[in-house]
Amino acid sequence: MKEASNYSANLTYQTDDFSRAISAVTKLLVDFIDRSRLSDGPVVNLKTVSDVTKALRLEQFVELAGGQGDPGILGEFVETYLPTLIRLNDPRFIGHQVSRPHFASALADLVNGMTNNGMAVYEMGPGPVAIERFVVQWLLGFVNWPDGGDGFLTHGGSLANLTALLAARGTFHPESWREGIDHRHVFLVPETSHYCLQRAICILGYGERNIRFLPTNDLGQIEVDQIESVFQAAVDEGNSPVAICANACSTPTGLYDDLKSIGEFAKQKSIWFHIDAAHGGSALVSQTHRELLHGIQFADSVVWDQHKLLQTSALCTAVLFRNPESLNRIFQQHASYLNTCNDDDFPNLFHQTIECTKVPIGLKFYLCLLAIGEQGLADFVDALFSRTEEIYRLISSRDGFVCRYKPQSNILCFQYRPEEFDPFAIRDQIIREGEFYFTRTELKGEKYFRFTVTSPETSNDIVSKLLDRIEETAG
């Protein structure tokens, strides 16, 4: 194929160089994933940032590339880079809530990176906008609001939760965008909410004094019978509750709040009901587990990450609204350099999203849906939840180990002889060794080991070896 131009390498690139680089990097990634799935080598190589910088030989590679650059060196650098990464495809990774992505989703990252379409302005990405609208409607089909609802995709649960609360503020105080906030507004939030919810409230211009924490039980679930007293105390102080938030599921434990009871309370009091279902929303695709989100139909807004349980590469998050008009209450701005048209034929998304040059994140999930299918996504969620319950039974049956609850999702907390040993110290020592990766959390002052099962290949044998290591480390 004839090259498009004779520009020098520092002004453009040759597609042959691109092809060679892709081929080299693809081979390295295939080997990296295969070795990860076989647990060949450490799952994490935790060194100081200074040591990692030296291992990457960053200055040396810049010198090797020379002042004009060298595309041929890219594969060599990636080969040096991969060993510094934590290996999510390793079944010994039982850590944070990040999916091991399907290769189809990763292909979307490549396509997006090369085509570089923005999509907040429709004329910059007609295809990406059409895909996002399809994905949003597909997701809304599981929420099943009476009037359908609406929404969009954004980069992660933190932005999504912020956007949802912006809509709540705009609904209860339509002049807030022009006049500023009403300091009497308060938000009812569970003690176990993700930190981004509290951060969002403060970003909106409210302070921590505007947050009323809802009491939770020993497992971090909202005590429904105490919501009324918290609400009334806020009113008696001269405040106006704007919204109540619930977890589906909570980040520390993976347990779901009683959405139906909370939703009915919100409806009775005419306040906004927001559900942070960033992690647990994916149970909706499962016939077996969707009942965990019973009551979601009462929500005014829902946040749902596809990169947690639906094998989509980060980041891809849906923020969904029961009332489509809520989308018009988020931002109220005009920008002369943008096409302000916002009709059904040429929909501009910058009216709703924080991002302007927004990556076509819908493609990441859509390609995954094509490759796996709806049933495949459901089977994957079922497999992770089932695997976690089996691990729960294994740990519960072992002497000295304590599980305080039966898991509802793929997150499980447990302890080992809690009266004698500090789980945090044991966990930190084990992950420094690199053979296993898992996390930790604290509930009501008690410390726990925390598993997030992200691979169906995390076997009982792997878990048993980790439990052995916990015992050995405890002494």
Which residues, other chains included, contact 313 with Cβ-Cβ below 8 Å and sequence gap of 6+? 99, 101, 105, 106, 108, 109, 307, 364
As a whole-number percent, the residues of the chain with pLDDT over 70 amount to: 96
Residue type, 156: G
User: What does the pLDDT look like over 249-295, one tens digit per residue?
Assistant: 999 999 999 999 999 999 999 999 999 999 999 999 999 999 999 99
The 8-class DSSP code of residue 467 comes to H
In the predicted model, what is the mean pLDDT of residues 212-239? Answer: 96
Domains, the chain, in order of start with CATH, read 15-85 (no CATH), 112-367 (3.40.640.10)
| Out of 84-93, 172-181, 348-357, 447-456, least confident range | 348-357
Pick from 118, 411, 137: nearest CA to 252: 411
Mean pLDDT of 394-402: 97
pLDDT-based confidence at residue 8 (cuts at 50, 70, 90): low
| Mean pLDDT of the 354-369 span | 93
**pLDDT, position 330:** 87
The yes-or-no verdict on residue 315 having pLDDT over 50 is yes
**Position 17: which residue type?**
D
DSSP 249-286: S-TTT-PPP-HHHHHHHHHHHT-EEEEE-TTGGGGGG-
The predicted-structure confidence for 154-205, as pLDDT tens digits, reads as follows 999 999 999 999 999 999 998 988 899 999 999 999 989 999 999 999 999 9
Tokens, residue 421:
């040993």
Question: Is the predicted pLDDT of residue 1 greater than 50, yes or no?
Answer: no
For 71-113, the pLDDT digits (tens) are: 989 999 999 999 999 999 999 999 988 889 999 999 999 999 9
Model pLDDT, residue 6: 53
The pLDDT, as a whole number, for residue 103 is 96
pTM value is 0.93
Q: List pLDDT tens digits, range 319-345.
A: 999 999 998 888 876 665 555 566 777
- Mean pLDDT estimate for the chain: 93
9 pLDDT higher than 70: no
Closest residue by Cα to residue 293 from 270, 259, 326: 259
Radius of gyration of the chain (CA): 24
Q: Is the dihedral of CA 67, 72, 78, 79 positive or negative?
A: negative
User: How many CB atoms sit inside 10 A of residue 321's CB?
Assistant: 26
Average pLDDT over residues 455-475: 96
Q: How far is CA 98 from CA 235, 314, 384, 462, in A?
A: 40, 8, 13, 19
How many whole angstroms separate alpha carbon 70 and alpha carbon 72?
A: 5
Backbone angles phi, psi at 304, to 5 degrees: -145, 115
Q: Sorting pLDDT into bands at 50, 70 and 90, what band is 475?
A: confident
Q: Strand 240-247 and strand 185-190: pairing?
A: parallel
Task: Report residue 349's pLDDT band, with 50, 70 and 90 as the boundaries.
Answer: confident
- Helices and strands: H and E segment counts in the chain: 15, 12
pLDDT score of 79: 97
400, 401, 448 from 419: Cα distances, Å? 10, 11, 12
Cis bond before residue 249 (omega within 30° of 0) = yes
SS3 (DSSP) at 123: helix
Residue (of 172, 143, 131) closest to 304 by Cα position? 143
Predicted pLDDT of residue 339: 57
Tokens of 185: 């507004």
Backbone region of residue 57 per phi and psi (left: phi > 0; alpha: psi in -120 to 50; beta: other values): left
Q: What is the mean pLDDT of residues 298-308?
A: 97
Report d(CA 80, CA 318) in Å as an integer.
Answer: 35
Query: What is the distance between the alpha carbons of residues 107 and 115, in angstroms, rounded to a whole number?
Result: 12
The reported pLDDT for the residue numbered 2 is: 46
User: How many CB atoms sit inside 10 A of residue 207's CB?
Assistant: 10
* Cβ–Cβ under 8 Å, residues 104 and 313: no
pLDDT at 13: 84
pLDDT classification of 299: cutoffs 50, 70, 90: very high
